[in-house]
Homo-oligomer: A and B are copies of this chain.
Amino acid sequence: MERAQDLFQPLLDGHPRALARAISWMENGHPEARNLMALLWPHMGRAVVVGLTGAPGAGKSTLTDQLARSLRAEGQKVGILAVDPTSPFSGGAILGDRIRMNHIADDPGIFIRSMATRGALGGLARATQDAIDLLDAAGYDVVLVETVGVGQDEVDVVSCVQTCIVVLIPGMGDDIQAIKAGIMEVADIFVINKADRDGVEKVEREIEGMKSLSTLRPWDPPVLRTVAAHGQGIQEVLGQIREHGGWLREHGGLAAKAMERAKLRFASLLAEEASRRARARAGSGRVDELIHAIADRHLDPYAAVAAVLDANESSSASGR
């Protein structure tokens, strides 16, 4: 079996294949994943991590591509993670090809990866955080995390990056309002993309209206206009990302973001690992039996879970 030590140096040196393999290790729960993370941990903390979220159809991918191009033009290495929680249902890799990214996909200074749930509960947010760390260790200067869906996992992912960009477009429907309100608290920068369409002022007014309702925050999120497909407004977005980074450094905000991220990482890994251990101790036969009992309505789910965890505890206590 390949060991953590074998991937460690190539990954630190920034070899894309080592990086790709390490991300797969994290996704699949490879036995050496944990050791690799321990080795790499002291070599991280340099990368600027930017999250992009917002409604489907808002053009997040195009905006991400344009930001990546501009950063490359400055000589920075850029990692892109596309978080796509719904793709397992169709076998994944919907974004894998990222056809529209062909113009940047051959650039060795850009690493692109689509992150999709492997069916593990809470596994997507955790694996994405791991991938951010690996890109950081591999010397990528900026990591852009783009979400496809708009759900709790995605909000979890982008809420603890350094700078969170919420992308909106003019002329969205009714319940987009709910989503805008919901992600209001996590937005560091608002971008109104496709700003050459009618209704830009209306969206701007709505954002300002919601900003006035929301909890007072020391950083006032700017509202920018872009037409990402034509490269318009990209420099302003980059400028605001830097502005926000500087503000965080001056006001102790980086430490607060690091705490948020540490809490999320601990919680998601704990849920995953505690479940894994409980299942392993109970045995898959016993777990199947309990799940069948729930489906047949002989046992309620709370009782089934208690049966597994109580048994674990008493078998540990008896020195098994």
Contact = CB atoms under 8 A, between A and B. Distances in A.
Q: Which of A58, A186, A299, A302 has the most CB atoms of chain B within a 10 A radius of its CB?
A: A302
B305 A270 contact: yes
Interface string A140-155: 0000000011111111
Given A151-B152, A309-B277, A262 B295 contact: yes
Contacts of A216: none
A152 B127 CA distance: 14
Interface in A264-320: 265-275, 277-279, 287, 290-292, 294-297, 299-306, 308-309, 312-313, 316-317, 319-320
A181 interface: yes
Contact of A155 (B86, B95, B305): B86
Main secondary structure on A side of the interface with B: helix
A246 interface: no
Interface string A166-194: 00010011111011011111100000000
A123 to B, nearest CB: 9
A275 B121 CA distance: 13
Contacts of A84: 178, 182
Contact of A122 (B61, B121, B181, B316): B121
Contact of A267 (B45, B175, B262, B275): B275
A252 B175 CA distance: 36
Contacts of A159: 89
A9 interface: no
A176 B85 CA distance: 13
Q: Which of A89, A152, A186, A279 has the most CB atoms of chain B within a 10 A radius of its CB?
A: A152
Interface in A79-97: 84-90, 94-95
Contacts of A269: 301-302, 304-305
Given A89-B184, A274-B275, 4 more contacts: A55-B55, A90-B184, A150-B151, A151-B153
23 contacts: A34-B303, A37-B302, A38-B302, A41-B297, A41-B299, A45-B297, A57-B172, A59-B175, A60-B175, A85-B152, A85-B155, A85-B182, A86-B183, A90-B181, A121-B271, A149-B150, A149-B179, A261-B295, A269-B301, A269-B304, A270-B279, A271-B274, A277-B309
Name the 5 nearest CB pairs between A and B, nearest first. A151-B151, A57-B173, A86-B182, A316-B316, A274-B274
